[in-house]
Amino acid sequence: DADVTQTPRNRITKTGKRIMLECSQTKGHDRMYWYRQDPGLGLRLIYYSFDVKDINKGEISDGYSVSRQAQAKFSLSLESAIPNQTALYFCATSDTPFEQFFGPGTRLTVL
Amino acid sequence: QKEVEQNSGPLSVPEGAIASLNCTYSDRGSQSFFWYRQYSGKSPELIMSIYSNGDKEDGRFTAQLNKASQYVSLLIRDSQPSDSATYLCLAGTYKYIFGTGTRLKVLA
């Protein structure tokens, strides 16, 4: 079984819809992260969490929110999706600050 | 100036050659650096970390760090077609800034 799983793997939605992307991990790591990846822009941090009660904004948090439901679960929400949120989204986990393990990614398309 | 800069490539090298990938950074507070490899359509995976000036070797990979000049590099010896991927540099600060990556193509 994969250590870091993301659901759904692909999603097509319409402008204005609320979307939730989910991440689960079995690695036992406290730290979890959400990134988006766009061609030419690389990986950019949206939110990160060092434990269940700790949530921090990353470089590009506007338009996104997160929930850390448990040590193993970290969800990313788009309250009202817009086309420029079309991207590949990655969840990652770590037990040290920068040695991260990434999930398989969610490809999100907003029409 | 971007905080972490990489040449986007593609960098093409023949099989068996040394591939040299470079990364420069602007935050002098960065103390550690990480190289991730990302195959097309896959997620990034950590391949090297370096915390102090000098060289760190792991198999065919060598990471080099020069804090005075603010650059970090990754050398891949005896390059193989399976090394063809995009290589991402991460500067270890609370901002978690990745470079945009260098695409490497190893030609058989």
Model pLDDT for residues B31-77, shown as the tens digit of each residue: 899 999 999 999 999 999 999 999 999 999 999 999 999 999 999 99
State how far the alpha carbon of B44 is from the alpha carbons of A11, A80, B26, B30, B101, in Å.
Answer: 21, 28, 23, 21, 11
Question: In this complex, is the C-beta atom of A2 within 8 Å of any C-beta atom belonging to chain B?
Answer: no
Nearest CA-CA distance, residue A15 and chain B, Å: 25
Q: What is the pLDDT of residue A35?
A: 97
Q: What is the pLDDT of residue A88?
A: 97
Q: What is the pLDDT of residue B24?
A: 94
In chain B, what residues touch A101 (CB-CB under 8 Å)? 45-46
pLDDT value at A41 more than 90: no
- What is the rounded CA–CA span in Å between residue B69 and residue B54? 12
SS3 call for B83: helix
Nearest to A29 by CA among A98, A93, A108: A93
pLDDT value at B1 more than 90: no
Round the average pLDDT of chain A to a whole number and report it: 95
Question: In this complex, is the C-beta atom of B78 within 8 Å of any C-beta atom belonging to chain A?
Answer: no
pLDDT value at B93 more than 90: no
SS3 call for A65: strand
Q: What is the pLDDT of residue A58?
A: 94
**B34: buried, middle or exposed (CB in 10 Å: 19+, 13-18, 0-12)?**
buried
- Confirm if B36 and B87 have CB atoms less than 8 A apart: yes
Question: In this complex, is the C-beta atom of A90 within 8 Å of any C-beta atom belonging to chain B?
Answer: yes
Tokens encoding B6: 């990489």
SS3 call for B88: strand
Q: What is the pLDDT of residue B29?
A: 85
- What is the rounded CA–CA span in Å between residue A13 and residue A16? 9
Question: In this complex, is the C-beta atom of A68 within 8 Å of any C-beta atom belonging to chain B?
Answer: no
- What is the rounded CA–CA span in Å between residue A61 and residue A56? 9
pLDDT-based confidence at B27, cuts 50/70/90?
confident
Q: What is the pLDDT of residue A40?
A: 82
pLDDT value at A1 more than 90: no
Least CA distance to B88: which residue of chain A? Answer: A42
Round the average pLDDT of chain B to a whole number and report it: 94
- Confirm if B7 and B53 have CB atoms less than 8 A apart: no
Q: Which of A28-32, B24-28, B89-93 has the highest mean pLDDT?
A: A28-32
pLDDT value at A2 more than 90: no
Of B1 and A105, more confident: A105
Phi, psi of A89 (to 5 degrees): -110, 130
